[in-house]
A = this chain, B = another copy of it.
Amino acid sequence: MVDILHRVAMKVPAAEVYRALTTTEGLAGWWTTDTQADGDGVGGVLRFRFQAGGFDMKVLEQHPGKRVLWEVVEGPAEWIGTHVDWALNQDGEYTVILFKHEGWREPVEFMHHCSTKWATFLLSLKSLVETGKGMPEPDDIKIDNWN
């Protein structure tokens, strides 16, 4: 099992980061504009759609200002059953995110791609909460010949 790990921090209160991770408006502002929610809060399913496909995430945990945990229930084969874990920690004027996309079975080439792509979306999230404008798909940063 191998994991994608990232760390970003933004100069806003944790509650604002939490809102960007738990509302369709927030999620659509940094990951993909085509975001829908089926149900609300824990047990709900978030449906993220991209030009190349999409992911459905079941919300397993939500602790306001502290942590969000998703399980991938639909999407590319390599993603199914993996977890996306957001740990928030207020540190002075910053909110620090420790991000994990964990449970990959093999470090395939697609995992390398997703690792870099997650970094760009985390910077998009940072931009959204700090400036009001993110870079969600279709205006996301292109990193390679896949996207």
Contacts and interface: CB of A to CB of B under 8 A. Distances in A.
Contacts of A146: 7, 9
A121 to B, nearest CB: 10
B115 A145 contact: no
A6 B112 contact: yes
Interface in A21-37: none
Contact of A119 (B3, B91, B116): B116
Nearest to A141: B123
Contacts of A15: none
Contact of A116 (B109, B113, B122): B122
A9 B2 CA distance: 23
A60 interface: no
A134 to B, nearest CB: 15
Interface string A1-17: 01111111100000000
A9 B94 contact: no
B119 A109 contact: no
A8 B119 contact: no
Contact of A92 (B6, B141, B145): B145
A28 to B, nearest CB: 22
8 contacts: A2-B5, A5-B111, A6-B115, A9-B143, A92-B145, A99-B112, A115-B119, A119-B119
